[in-house]
Structure 1
Amino acid sequence: MNVEQIIKTEKKIPLERRTIIHFMLVNNKINESISKALKPFDVSLQQFNVLRILRGQNEKPANLSTLNERMVTKMSNTTRLVDKLILKGFVDRIICPSNRRKVEISITTEGRNILKKIDSAMIKAEKSILENISKKELEQLNTLLNKF
């Protein structure tokens, strides 16, 4: 990926700025690929993230704070995401009878089933995104990214 060609400039971009622009372009490409993989399931990337967090709870419900803490993309509208997933039948919201302020979210059987279908689409998308990078290069890249 040639940054200068993509942003259509003939000027030499300083290395630090070029690196940041490169990250942004790669991020956009990854988001586009993942969104395209999720589109047939009518699930956004953030909704997918919530479903995976809930599946990882191993049958234990999570509260909104837990979901927000574990989200890859931090956002303040977790409640809205959960509401949309409830409408789709993928999650349930349970209000604690002893403390009505305590709300717990759990994944439904339908939510688990859609995640199984999404998982195979995501594996294909991930392989496609990373097809030009060897396992050794991925390990190196992750080592470098850990420095952030």
Structure 2
Amino acid sequence: MNKGMVQIALVGLTEVIARSIGLTADAVAANRLGGTRPDAAGDTASADSADGTATDHSPSLFVGAQAAEVRLQSRDDSTVFPTWFWGATALSVRNDGSSYGEARVQTVLGADPEWLPLAPGETKTVRRWWGAVPVRVTNNADSPLTAWTR
């Protein structure tokens, strides 16, 4: 491989990583269940913490893959979670309903999806190395689901 091809490959990889990090920061802000979400006018948001003091939530370039629980109430509800760049991300889904549930897990880059069938009350966890590519979790059944990453 010549020097020009290596440079092109590195530039492409850098762009993919930069876009992943940007999507990851947006996903973390969007996924806080019961938390705050920055509005369109600004980059930060604040909320009152348990002791009554204001807490700032600012998007960061160094975002981890740990995301708060997200409720997927009905069929076709979906959310996007960040993933770790190095190592595996643990994605968990719980069926909160009294009927069959199913989650569809797929990277935002369009890799083959994975389906997680869930009995009522069941929780399943998958550990995968997605390389900082965010993953979308979609409720594929009529039972409410809760999903989170660690």
TM-score band, normalised by the shorter chain? under 0.3
Larger radius of gyration: 1
**More strand per residue: 1 or 2?**
2
- What is the TM-score of this pair, normalised by structure 1? 0.26
| More contact order relative to length (CA 8 Å, sep ≥ 6) | 2
